[in-house]
Amino acid sequence: MKIQAVKGTRDFYPPQMAVRNFIVDGWKTASIRNGFVEYDGPIFEHLQMYQIKSGEEIVEQLFNFEDRGGRHLAIRPEITPTLARMVNQQINALPRPIKWFSVPRLCRAERPQKGRLREFFQWNIDIIDVEDVLADAEVVYCSLDYLRSLGLTRNDVVAKISSRRLLAAVLKNIGIPEARLDTLYPILDKKPKIPAEAFVEMLEKEIDDSDTVGMIVKLMDVQSVDDIPDLVELNDEEQAALDELAQVFAYLKQMGVEEYCRFDMGIVRGLAYYTGMVFEIHDAAGELRAICGGGRYDNLLSDFGGPKVTATGMGMGDAVLEILLREKGLLTDESVPVQTLDYFVACLDADLFGKALKVTAALRQQGHSANLNYKTNALKKQMKAADAMNAAKCIIIGGELKESNQLVVKDMKTGEQELIDAMTFLK
């Protein structure tokens, strides 16, 4: 009976683990560089927690189960609800603003596809209790900061930024009732992914008035924030939303990443809970799924039973990122840092094996990484083993130990070797 890995999961053999660590370590380093501190929660939560934000239907997309106490639980498909729960629990004790990051392992019961798996890692950063759009700009900046640190340039990636608040205000202004907005968002979100005619067709199904449909199409094609006043007469709410978005861009310019950023009315995000700036970072060619996405969600904490505290954040999965980095030649199996060994201890004579063990243990005791062959076979074999483990130095225990209590220490890189008194290692 041969059992294989579960659909949509990956095995991380040492080479793949090195790649994963490369990505995850980069995320953590970028987070810390940008002033975020790490948190984590349990990998399963009450099923109900995911229904608050995403509705009843979400259940079929989750791995859920009942525990022996009859609790309905689910493996986490995202960490934002956990974050909301944790922050709410200690809201009065936490120093503000809260800038937290996490790299949770998540599971979703979806059909696997390119860049989309059933188990994956996702870098999350969130800033809580900062009303100023500076927090939104910081989230975008931090995402770009990481991508830039990998060697991706403005020719490789683009941050597409828009505003839910602006979109809602404009739609209301052209006569869309507020209650219709939530059904419209997923359609608008699709616009960049489908042909223009299909987009119009979908809109016409929802909206009877063809003038309104035409206006929406025009709006969605707007290339710059400055063009919006030409299309609609701005009311106070629209003006405020527009100013706010302009401020996001102003901050990003001050931080020197404006050439990565672009206004894009087509960035809507399917979910209802976004309240302000929304953004996605895509590969410049637009061939892959979004590398990351996020935005402001000022109502989430109160939806989870907490006080009304503002929040903004982003999530970046490892799957699309890895595909992009490999395509760009910024990640190969050879380019990833490999695990190395400080000392490999080779033993030439079975009689001396006890000494070899002693030296190895002493090296470990001193804080070095050290390893040895379990069999005393040909030196050639042992050198090969040392090489395979990326040993920096190889200690050879042979006749010199018997004759003058000395060991051969070979530098594996230069090939040079010297005789050193055994006591140097054994003390």
Partner RNA sequence: GUGGAUGUAGCUCAGUUGGUUAGAGCACUAGAUUGUGGAUCUAGGGGUCGGGGGUUCGAGUCCCCUCAUCCACCCCA
**Least CB distance from residue 322 to RNA, whole Å?**
12
The site string for RNA over 146-185 (x = CB under 7 A, - otherwise) reads: ----------------------------------------
Stretch that binds RNA, among 36-44, 74-82, 212-220, 242-250 (CB under 7 A): 74-82
Give how far the C-alpha of residue 207 lies from the chain's centroid of Cα atoms, to the nearest Å: 38
Half-sphere exposure of 233 (CA within 13 A, CB side): 1
Whole-number Å distance between alpha carbons of 191 and 194 = 6
**What is the per-residue binding string for RNA in 31-60, x denoting contact by CB under 7 A?**
-------------------x---x---x--
Tokens for 21, please give them: 């660590």
Buried b (16+ CB within 10 A) or exposed e, 324-347: bbeebeebeeeebeeeebebbbbb
Nearer to RNA, 88 or 239 (CB): 88
Is 336 one of the binding residues for RNA (CB under 7 A)? no
Contact yes or no for 267/160 (Cβ under 8 A):
yes
With binding defined as CB under 7 A, does residue 315 bind RNA? Answer: yes
Contact 294, 314 (CB under 8 A): yes
Choices 2-10, 172-180, 210-218, 233-241 (CB under 7 A): range interacting with RNA: 2-10
User: Which amino acid, residue 351?
Assistant: D
Which of 21, 34, 61, 371 touches RNA (CB under 7 A)? 61
Shortest spacing between CB 283 and RNA, in angstroms: 13
3-state secondary structure 213-265: HHHHHHHHCCCCHHHHHHHCCCCHHHHHHHHHHHHHHHHHHHCCCHHHEEECC
Tell which one of 110, 145, 258, 322 touches RNA (CB under 7 A): 110
Assess 7 for contact with RNA (CB under 7 A).
yes
- CB 246, min distance to RNA, A: 25
Size of the site for RNA (CB under 7 A): 52
Distances (CA, A) of 163 to 18, 230, 232: 38, 18, 16
Indicate the residue among 209 and 418 with the shorter CB distance to RNA.
Answer: 418
Indicate the residue among 210 and 390 with the shorter CB distance to RNA: 390
Burial of residue 44, with CB atoms counted within 10 A of its CB: 0-12 exposed, 13-18 middle, 19 or more buried:
middle
**Among positions 8, 41, 192, 266, the unique one binding RNA when judged by CB under 7 A:** 8
Residue closer to RNA by CB (options 241, 412) is 412
Asked if 47 contacts 62 with a C-beta cutoff of 8 angstroms, the reply is yes
CB neighbours of 297 closer than 8 A, spacing ≥ 6?
A: 80, 273, 274, 275, 311, 312, 313
C-beta closer to RNA: residue 270 or 305: 270
Q: CA-CA distance, 279 to 290, in Å (whole number)? A: 10
Q: Does 340 bind RNA (CB under 7 A)?
A: no
Residue with Cβ nearer RNA (220 or 396): 396
Point out which residues pair with 400 in neighbouring strands.
none
Q: Which of 361, 366, 362, 288 is nearest to 327 (CA)?
A: 288
Site for RNA in 184-213 (CB under 7 A): 186, 189-190, 193-194
- Residues within the interface to RNA (CB under 7 A): 4, 6-8, 50, 54, 58, 61-62, 77-78, 80, 108, 110-114, 116, 186, 189-190, 193-194, 269-271, 289, 293, 315, 348, 377-381, 383-384, 386-388, 396, 398-400, 408, 410, 412-415, 417
